[in-house]
Structure 1
Amino acid sequence: MSIKELLSDCAPSRRKLAEEIGISPAALSQLLNHGTLPKRRWPEIREAMLSLAVARGKAESDMEAALKELEQQPASAPEEKAEQEEPMILRKQTLTMQARQTFGLVRNPFADPETSADVFMSPDIRFARETLYQAATGSGFLALVGESGSGKSTLKDELITRINDENLPVIIIEPYTLAMAANESQGKPLRSSHIAEAIISTVQPGAKIPSSPEMRFRRLHEILKASHTAGMRHCLIIEEAHDLHRHTLKSLKRFHELKDGLARLLSIILIGQTELEKKLRVTDASVREVVQRCDVVHLSAIADPGAYLRHRFEHAGADFNAAFSPDG
């Protein structure tokens, strides 16, 4: 029998039982429900529990066995009721056709950018943009972190457009993450084998992918070296990286260390929400090797909404002053 069962009828109430033993009702609940031993006076409390139970007709051997079991088992954390908080992220707002007609907005100023010129550039956004560019064209390892809707994917798309417009010898590799989740119970985690397959099929389309993991990664290295010899660079971009499993995060260090002599063969850019930064904490020993190599860039909220609105309206061919008064 457990200690809770043995003491259940030793007093008319839990509070009275606590008084008999000499501890607080809260401490008694922690002891009986979660196996949490009192931090002080445990030998004294133990003796009081044993004496009380024996006095109430319980077998001393049963109590001793229950107490020893209690002392040997790890304490379980009490269940905490999660606080229900109001969501901090606003629902997407759209312009109605009536509003667009009223202000003469033939083109929606808030539509997705179609050219690099359409992308608003604050100092913070410009810094993130250039950092992405340097990581992609060099051999960087970078994580771009921001809230949903902060413009992370827009900067990624603009980076690819910029590389194409400048005819840079950079191959962008993007594993599909449509069904990616952090664990099997929520979806299908992106594993290192999937990343290897994406690299092989992107750098050398039509190449046969070996079924053996050892041969697959050997083939991957050979393909990257051959492409590098031909003058190409390679950039792995993973969106929704906050859903990456920690094992996959850890494996990225080995991808980044693939070399041809001194030259790294693969730069890596992770794009994710703020949960990604939590996974890249320096206190997490499981990913410390990645943390030591990965730079983190934060994409903050726009500090000057007026400048953003003016930029978007002007690039949509709309009259900003007709829609907004000088005082906002």
Structure 2
Amino acid sequence: MLKLKSLLLKAGCKQADLAKALNVSPATVAQIVNHGVWPKSLDELQLKQRICAFLEGKGMAAPSLTSVFEEVDQADIHERMNAVMAELGAEPGDLLKALESHQAESATRGAHPQNKPANVSSQEESMLLRKQALFPATRKHFSLFRDPFSDDAIQSHEDMYVSPDIRYVREAMLQTAKHGGLLAVVAESGAGKTTLMRDLEDRILRETQPILIIKPYVLAMEDNDQKGKTLKSTHIAEAIMAAVAPLEKPKSSPEARFAQLHKALRESHAAGYRHCLVIDEAHALPIPTIKHLKRFFELEMGFKKLLSIILIGQPELKTKLSERDAAVREVVQRCELVELAPLEGGRLEDYLKFKLDRMNKPVHEVIDSSGIDALRARLTVNTPRRDRPETVSLLYPLAVGNLLTACMNLAADLGVPLVTADVVKGV
């Protein structure tokens, strides 16, 4: 437990008040306050600063980041509780009895999940597995010579599973690259963003499209210089020049350099080429760089745009592209945002059938219908949010592949011919 909990009490605030101020779920705040577990999808330092600002706004003295988020000494807690109980006329030993009684009640409630509020963050962590691989004995058990869910299972565009949602995103990316535009592709980790980016490059080569794909290096890229290296507009300009006019020596002054860039793009366009800037991990772009993308997008020759832009990132990118943020409003007004949906409904079965068919293996020889239903249930979280139920789906290709691979390994170990609901529950 963090000292933050006692400070909230002193300020007369509930954890729900802090959750509302931070725009996160009460379960997320509970994980932070009680266990010091920070959400992976948000920047920890910024979250701490916002919490401190919230406490200051409630009349607390300006707290330091170190003191607020320190662990509370358990011995100190027991000493204080004993003192309180002594004031109430209880014996110090009564504290231990009360704690033991509370733990017993908690264990009883834990045996009945329906009496326990759902915690989306902890449930997600328990459902997602580390990278799994089929054991040799598993491949032999199911007569599979290759792992259908491994990274090298996709060798060409024919190995790509294409749902109606994926088909739309795939076409939107190609049309943006061919005809211009500003597109943001948003999806959870493991949803297939990298596969779509590879497919775009492969499709341009396969169809001999006169399009230059420009990809700035995003290694160690973060949205502030304290955590890593920020991608600035000058770095993007350098990447464009390296792709469009690699033999030209960059000018020394910024103004001359950008004029040189504009000239190089015009000459390349006159030669029949189109140019598409693709930025992967775009959720790590700093706000100033996102704002500057409008300047690149406005480079043109007559009515023709000289540069189209595709941003690919996790859901944090959608937050950064909020129309309520005045800093990026001009970019948002010009940007189409598309999201990759999870494999819900019948698409889960379609996906499994496609992946196993590519290995010449019928899906019904690996997993039965009860096993598919159990996979779907295992990767779906139902939780109450503000008096209404909310479903969080983790049915993305990476999570599905990892879970089914683990189930297949267990089925082979148990000697059962198929992955059933019982096998899924045993993982």
For Structure 1 versus Structure 2, the TM-score category normalised by the shorter chain is 0.7 to 0.9
Distance 2:328 2:242 in 1: 27
The 3 A distance-change label for structure 1 pair 326 and 231 is: same
Indicate the residue corresponding to 1:86 in structure 2: 122
TM-score if structure 1 supplies the norm length?
0.74
Give, in angstroms, the shift of residue 240 of structure 1: 0.3
CA displacement 1:60-112 (0-9 Å, x = unmatched): xxxxxxxxxxxxxxx93357879994273623333223212211111211133
Give, in angstroms, the shift of residue 194 of structure 1: 0.2
Most deviating of 133-142 and 230-239: 133-142
Indicate the residue corresponding to 1:49 in structure 2: none
Check if 1:102 corresponds to 2:141. Answer: yes
Corresponding residue to 2:56 among 57, 72, 76: 76
The 3 A distance-change label for structure 1 pair 202 and 324 is: same
Indicate the residue corresponding to 2:247 in structure 1: 206
Corresponding residue to 1:237 among 273, 278, 291: 278
Distance 1:186 1:159 in 2: 31
Amino acid in the other structure paired with 2:355? R
Counterparts of residues 51-62 of structure 1 (less than 5 Å): none
Give, in angstroms, the shift of residue 268 of structure 1: 0.2
Return 5+ residue gaps in structure 2 as ranges: 1-8, 14-54, 71-118, 372-427
Distance 2:207 2:174 in 1: 12
> What RMSD over aligned residues (CA atoms) do the two structures have, in Å?
2.5
Corresponding residue to 2:231 among 190, 204, 207: 190
Distance 1:282 1:81 in 2: 33
CA displacement 1:232-275 (0-9 Å, x = unmatched): 00000000000000000000000000001110000000000000
Amino acid in the other structure paired with 1:101? K
Give, in angstroms, the shift of residue 28 of structure 1: 9.1
Distance 1:326 1:143 in 2: 36
Indicate the residue corresponding to 2:356 in structure 1: 313
Check if 1:283 corresponds to 2:263. Answer: no
8 Å CA contact 1:141, 1:267 repeated in 2? yes
Distance 1:318 1:226 in 2: 52
8 Å CA contact 1:107, 1:317 repeated in 2? no
Give, in angstroms, the shift of residue 27 of structure 1: 6.8
CA displacement 1:258-311 (0-9 Å, x = unmatched): 001110000000000000000000110111001111110001111221110110
Q: How many residues align?
A: 260
Check if 1:123 corresponds to 2:168. Answer: no
The 3 A distance-change label for structure 1 pair 326 and 226 is: same
Distance 1:231 1:28 in 2: 66
Distance 1:214 1:88 in 2: 49
Give, in angstroms, the shift of residue 216 of structure 1: 1.1
Most deviating of 316-325 and 229-238: 316-325
Counterparts of residues 1-328 of structure 1 (less than 5 Å): 76-77=56-57, 85-86=121-122, 88=124, 90-91=128-129, 92-112=131-151, 113-303=154-344, 304-328=347-371
Percent identity over the alignment? 46
Q: Secondary structure at the match of 1:269?
A: strand
